[in-house]
Amino acid sequence: MTAIGTIGIIIILFIAIVLFSSVKVVQEYERGVVFRLGRLVDARGPGLILLIPFLERMRKIDLRTVTMDIPAQEVITRDNVTVRVNAVNYFRVINPNEAVVNVEDYIRATSQIAQTTLRSVLGQSTLDDLLSQREKINQDLQQIIDEQTEPWGIKVSVVEVKDVELPQSMQRAMARQAEAERDKRAKIIHAEGEYQAAEQLSQAAEIINRNPVTIQLRYLQTLAEIGAENNTTIAFPLPIDMITAFMDKLGGGSGQILSTAPSTAHPREDLKGAPPRHPGPIENA
């Protein structure tokens, strides 16, 4: 091989290297930030990009949404409870030029900002707020992180608190609190039921007091229920009107019924001044 052939091969290789370094392909989801002699030119792409050899260089920036796991952080809440919280951060680059020029590593910088903001925001909240107002805390985190990353051309779309780890002692205390709350609700419901039952009984007593015949009907219904069962008790009902006079002498009056069942005692004993017996069934075993 002659010297001319060797030089020709070297020139061809040199041209191939120059062309290879000058031609770049940028994907649809990417942008190429071009620098010319160290000065920012512009973001180019997508598609085929031609660079001036040895004068321009390019850095590709991905514009897709990045899912970043925020490492678990030890946080002391406002009510002095130590919890361990982790979260997830969704962000993307909206200005490739700022993401390259204004920050060295925008992914690492965003991660550090997210961690510090997570500890700061949760440290200002109580444990109850952390457990019950998760949506509000997520919105506060997203707004604060987005404001801090805006100069870097980063847009934070969503920040979500994933898991909150509580100490064992706090879990037991919350379990006892929940159990006490359930007992409280059960007692309140039982008391309301008793109150409603008492109101119904009071209304029934007023109705019976206005019409004494209803107590006799109730008495006959009770006798029917007793007779429906297999027992050895035989009840002999007597009309209540037969003993109304004796009730009047005792001060009960014809409008107030002292007993709900007629007595089977002999009338002579009542006439002699003996105290009236409470009406009841006569057992014939």
Strand order in the sheet with 56-62: 39-44, 30-36, 56-62
Residue 191, CA distances (Å) to 196, 202, 205 in order: 9, 16, 21
Give the start-to-end residue ranges of the domains of the chain.
3-62, 66-170, 213-283
Q: Is residue 23 within 8 Å of 50, Cβ to Cβ?
A: yes
Compute the half-sphere exposure of residue 160: CA atoms within 13 Å on the CB side of its CA. 9
* The predicted structure's pLDDT at residue 157: 93
* The predicted structure's pLDDT at residue 233: 60
Tokens standing for residue 182: 């359930």
User: 249-284, pLDDT tens digit by residue?
Assistant: 666 544 444 444 444 444 444 434 444 444 444 333
User: 126-174, pLDDT tens digit by residue?
Assistant: 888 888 888 999 999 999 999 999 999 999 999 999 888 887 777 677 7
Q: Which residues of the chain have pLDDT under 50?
A: 253-285
**CATH code of the domain made up of 66-170:** 3.30.479.30
* The predicted structure's pLDDT at residue 242: 58
> What residues does 83 pair with on adjacent strands?
75
pTM of the model: 0.60
